[in-house]
Amino acid sequence: GESVGLHLPTLSVQEGDNSIINCAYSNSASDYFIWYKQESGKGPQFIIDIRSNMDKRQGQRVTVLLNKTVKHLSLQIAATQPGDSAVYFCAEEYSGTYKYIFGTGTRLKVLA
Amino acid sequence: DGGITQSPKYLFRKEGQNVTLSCEQNLNHDAMYWYRQDPGQGLRLIYYSQIVNDFQKGDIAEGYSVSREKKESFPLTVTSAQKNPTAFYLCASQRATSTDTQYFGPGTRLTVL
């Protein structure tokens, strides 16, 4: 498989616990943010998004929080499962540019 | 089955050769993108296209070329001028509107022998 996460920070979580993955974004003018999940050797998979006029958005077992004051984004995964093991990274879009800036990612390991 | 397809999944190139990576989407998206992914780094933009017959250089366009003759297709050629082409290449697409989700293909792993 593709070794995309050789030197990434790693978060280890017990199965069933909640996970929190953090991301610091770079541009205060960014107005759209996405969290992706990437398994080894595969393309990134969309998880959840949030626009800058919101502070929180919930999906199925996932919640994204946006703190524009400190340019911080977090992804919360409830009741973490073995299938959640992957690299997670955030992306920000500069308003109107059609271009995204991607974070380097965090590897999530779920311990049985 | 809608989505983005990339081929081949694995590609091997000898030094001095050009190779072309395929990307096709049936999502009716106007915008398409090519990224390069290296271990421990975020995705880096190579080229993008917002409309047929038009494309723009991204942050690392040197040694690459693209074409956008059809809305569904955005092939990437890795030329011999690219000095370190071994990487995982990802194609993505999104609707024309800004602040919209980019969806990714499964990727092509290119290795230079």
The strands making up A56-58's β-sheet, listed across from edge to edge, are A19-24, A72-77, A62-67, A56-58
**For position A5, what pLDDT does the model report?**
47
- Across the interface, whether the CB atoms of A99 and B48 are under 8 A apart is answered yes
Residues of chain A with Cβ-Cβ distance to B58 below 8 Å are 99
| HSE-CB for A11 with a 13 A CA cutoff | 22
Question: What distance in Å separates residue A37's CA from the closest CA in chain B?
Answer: 11
Instruction: Give percent of chain A above pLDDT 90.
Output: 79
- For residues B47 and B61, the answer to whether their CB atoms sit within 8 Å is yes
Q: Kindly indicate the confidence band of residue A3, based on its pLDDT and cuts at 50, 70 and 90.
A: very low
Partners of residue A95 in chain B, C-beta under 8 Å? 98-99
Scan for tokens 């050629």, then name that residue: B77
Read off the pLDDT of each residue in B100-105 and give the average, rounded to a whole number.
93
Q: What is the pLDDT of residues B1-43, one digit of tens each?
A: 569 999 999 999 998 899 999 999 999 999 999 999 998 788 9
User: Tell me, what's the pLDDT at B2?
Assistant: 63
Q: Are the Cβ atoms of A104 and B40 closer than 8 angstroms?
A: yes
* Bridge partners for A58 per DSSP: A63
Measure CB to CB from residue B31 to each of A91, A95, A98 and give the nearest one: A98
* Chain B residues with beta carbon closer than 8 angstroms to that of A86: none
B94–A contact, CB cutoff 8 A:
yes
CB-based contact (8 Å) between B101 and chain A? yes
What's chain A look like in SS3? Answer: CCCCCCCCCEEEEECCCCEEEEEECCCCCEEEEEEEEECCCCCCEEEEEEECCCCEEECCCEEEEEECCCCEEEEEECCCCHHHCEEEEEEEEECCCCCEEECCCEEEEEEC
Minimum Cα–Cα distance from B57: chain A residue: A99
